[in-house]
Amino acid sequence: MRVIDLHFFLKCAVELFDSEAHRRRIHLRTDFTAARHYVKADPTGSSRSFGNLLKNSIKFTAEEGHIWVVTRDEGAHVSIEFRDDGAGWSPTCSSGFRALCPGETDGRQQQWRLGWDWPSHDR
């Protein structure tokens, strides 16, 4: 475990899967607004987790669908949210995760969310 920049690892995951999302005409959006985006985490595990979440979101989101990756500050924590309007899944909570499924609906299709909070860390 070491201090990592979550925005860097999230951007890398988005860049890795952007062409697949584009090929399937899926709108992949990011909103990295967290000012405190440094956390103590395993870089390899974080990279793998972010990649798996994006890969599965792309896999289960229909063409012309939407995927959002959002960060924001929540007190002394940084919140990361992966959201899509794909088929969804049955949420289960594990350590550090905050399941937010199902999310809001836009009248056409249910949106599904998964997010978690990490304590922020100074560089």
Domain count, the chain: 1
Q: What is the pLDDT along the chain (123 residues), one digit of tens a residue?
A: 888 899 999 999 999 999 999 999 999 999 999 998 988 888 888 899 899 989 988 998 999 999 999 999 988 888 888 888 876 554 443 333 444 334 444 444 444 444 455 566 665
User: Residue 53: which of 96, 82, 86, 10 has the closest Cα?
Assistant: 82
Return the structure tokens found at 118: 């990490």
This prediction has a pTM of: 0.74
Dihedral angle sign, alpha carbons of residues 110, 54, 93, 119: negative
Cα diameter, the chain: 43
Return the structure tokens found at 37: 């985006």
Residue type, 9: F
CATH of the domain at 95: 3.30.565.10
| 37: containing domain | 2-119
